[in-house]
Every structure is written in structure tokens, then in C-alpha cells.
Amino acid sequence: MDSYSQRFDSKSQKKKGSSHHGASCYDEGDRKAKFHLPFRNITDDVLDRFASIRIPGSKKERPPLSHSKHNTNEWSISSSSTSHQIEELSSKITTEKEILALFEKMMEDMNLNEEKKTPLREKDLNKKREMVIQYVFTASKTGTLRSSHQVSPQEFLGELKSGVMDERLIACLDSLRVSLTSNPVSWVQSFGHEGLGLLLDILERLLFKKEQEKIDKKNQHKVVQCLKAFMNNKYGLDRILGEEKSLSLLARAIDPTQSAMMTDVVKLLSAICIVGEENTLEKVLEAITIAGEWRAIERFSPIVQGLRDRSVQLQVACMQLINALVTSPDELDFRLHIRNEFMRCGLKEILPQLTSIRNDALDIQLKVFVEHKEEDMIEFSHRLEDIRSELEYPCSEAADASSV
């Protein structure tokens, strides 16, 4: 998950709480937009993809390009061959139906959201045809000239089915994460049909292993990283939400003793809370509740414990999840309930310590928490005022009647 300010990805603001009559009624439409998180696609590589920073002088000097006659001839032959192949493709893709179908597939493979697709769809047919031909040509070259390190989805599936749980699995998961990140959505779909279930089964076996060795914990994190890459598109997110045990396993992977893995897990859950459907928050809370019962502890205790970690990245991620859980419910009573439960778990005591840490990302999360807390208190006070008015109104009527 480029450095962005913390914001929602164009998720519309919901009207919260019940309306009350009377001049003092709090106008819920004035509430700020919900907790903001940085999304570009679905999870923007789950909230923490930053711009590349190069250390001055770290780039190795490259030898000058040789401009020999031999190289020039090779380039000419290659260019001529490419032109011939593009012309051949051009002669095959002619009908409007073929062009539009391939154009939609191209945009899907590029993992573009609807906002990005709209201006592309407005281009004329000739321009679309040019883009499609280039897309088909590139795809065919990638397929025919596949280098040895590029593994097919089927090869990964075979490796995951083999049941290995050692260093070999680490290497497989590392390679899979790269492939899920760098390949088009069609590749992810080809893997995900069966692969998501295999990843979840592996994570389940690792989490429920009674005596966990260092390599087991390392493999747990590698699986989480693969899930993170897998759900960085609409298809992957929908599949994750469609798998019954995915959220419960992620909730059980909230482990303060493994700060790096926990950082990824809570970021994933934050993203799921925000971009999921209406009932997604319910499912996330249920998963966290079940994980708490499994550990025989308060359900929010591991999240608050993560705030005590020395890792600022984990502290930021935990505050992101807290804000996502607290600000998402429509009902004021539910928001107050979730926030108060976090405060009782130790958040009240740790907030002053977090405020003293100088970190921009953490400051944003703390500001979001405080601002939404204040807004909810204003709404709550207006609700009490309305109730008081309703109780006093019959009394004043009775007093008026007795004086007549």
C-alpha cells in the first residue's frame, strides 16, 4: 500500500445517525468525509507505495553504447521484423466488434478503474485500433519470448500443491508475490481461480501450527504479502471478500510479536473496511471478535498493543485500522461503542505518548481520530438536547393548562 495524503478513494459519504426534529438538531450532512486512505487502484499496493528514491552516486556507471555497423544492421533487421508483425496484426483486427472487445480487455489487463477508462473509451475507433494492435503485439512478444524466470500460474499452483513448508516455500512465495504485482489482471485471474484457496490453506496450516519455528513465521508473512499483491485490483479484492475464511485468517494473523507482518495485515484490513460492500465492516469485526475469543483476550487488545511497538509504521497502520473501524458505522451509537471499547482497551492511556512522536503520517491519523471523536460528541450532545426538549414540552403544556 507515491506518498499521498490520507484519504478515501472517492467513497461517498453516508448519512449517519437518526435525524431528530427541533432547531437544535445536528445536521449530519455537515460531518466530514470518513477516514481518508490513499488508494489508486483498489488498495494502491495496500496503502504504502512510495515514490522511488535513489541515493546519489548509487547508480552504477554504464558503459557507453556501441554504435558499430554490426549493431546498426541488427537494429534495422529487428525494426523491419517488428513493422512486418504489426502490419500482419493490423490486417487481422478489422471489425469494430473485435477492436472494442480487445480494447476492453486491454483496459482490464492494465487494471484501470472506471474513472481512467472513461476518457479512453471516448477516443475514436482508429486510435483504439492502434492501441489494441500495440497491446496484442506486446502481449504476443511477452508470451513467445518469455524468459526463464517468468513462471506461469500453473507452475505456481503445482508448487503450492506440493505441500512444501521450508525454504523452498519461501522462494516460491517471493517469486509469486513479484508475479502477482507485475503481471496483468488476466494473469492474476488465471492464478486466483485455484491459487487463492491454496494460499489461504497454507496460511491456515501455519497459523494453527502448535510449535511455530522461525521459518514458519517467515512463511506466514510471505503468504500475507502474496495476498496483499493479489487483492491490489478489483478481481482480487472481490475474491478475497468472497472467501469465507480469508478475513478470519487475516484477523488471526494480527500478531504484535511479528511487527512487519502485522503492519501488512492491519493495512489490508483497513483497506477492506473502506472499499468493501456495506456489510464488510460487520464481517471484519466478526473476524476480529472470533480471533479474540480464540486467544481468550479482548478483541481489540492486539491492535492497541501494536501501538506500543517501536515501529512507527505499525503504529500508523494500527491507527489507520482504528479509524477505519470507528468512522465506518452509520449509526452514532455504534461509532461511540467501538471508540469506547478501544479506549477501554488502553488507547486512552497511549494516545498522549503517540502525540509526542513526531511523524507526519501518525499525526494525520491522530488528527482524524480526534476530529471524528469531537464531531460525534457534538452530535451526541444535540441528541440529548432534543430529548430534553421533548421531555420539557409536555410539562410546559401541563403548566399552561393548570393556569387557565
Q: What's the confidence (pLDDT) of residue 383?
A: 86
Q: Residue 198 has which C-alpha cell?
A: 491454496
Q: What's the confidence (pLDDT) of residue 285?
A: 96
Q: What's the confidence (pLDDT) of residue 6?
A: 39
Cell numbers 430534553 correspond to: 388
Give 305's contacts (C-beta < 8 A, 6+ positions apart): 256, 346
How many H helices and E strands in the chain?
Answer: 17, 0
Q: What's the confidence (pLDDT) of residue 241?
A: 92
- Is 219:163 a contact under the CB 8 Å cutoff? no
Distance of alpha carbon 225 from alpha carbon 180, whole angstroms:
10
The segments of the chain whose pLDDT lies below 50 read: 1-29, 35-40, 42-72, 74-75, 77, 142-149
- Is 239:279 a contact under the CB 8 Å cutoff? no
Q: What's the confidence (pLDDT) of residue 339?
A: 97
Q: What's the confidence (pLDDT) of residue 55?
A: 31
Give 344's contacts (C-beta < 8 A, 6+ positions apart): none
C-alpha distances (whole Å) from 378 to each of 26, 98, 108, 365, 374 are 8, 58, 45, 20, 6
Q: Residue 110 has which C-alpha cell?
A: 492494465
- Is 261:217 a contact under the CB 8 Å cutoff? yes
Q: What's the confidence (pLDDT) of residue 95?
A: 79
Distance of alpha carbon 107 from alpha carbon 116, whole angstroms:
9
Give the Cβ contact number of residue 391 at 10 Å: 9
Closest CA to 191 of 140, 233, 221: 233
Distance of alpha carbon 70 from alpha carbon 333, whole angstroms:
76
Q: What's the confidence (pLDDT) of residue 16?
A: 40
Q: What's the confidence (pLDDT) of residue 118?
A: 84
Q: Residue 158 has which C-alpha cell?
A: 503445482
Q: Which domains does the chain have, with CATH numbers?
A: 82-144 (1.10.20.40), 146-243 (1.25.10.10), 244-385 (1.25.10.10)
Give 372's contacts (C-beta < 8 A, 6+ positions apart): 32, 35, 323, 326, 327, 335
Distance of alpha carbon 192 from alpha carbon 240, whole angstroms:
10
Q: What is the pTM of this model?
A: 0.67
Q: What's the confidence (pLDDT) of residue 164?
A: 83
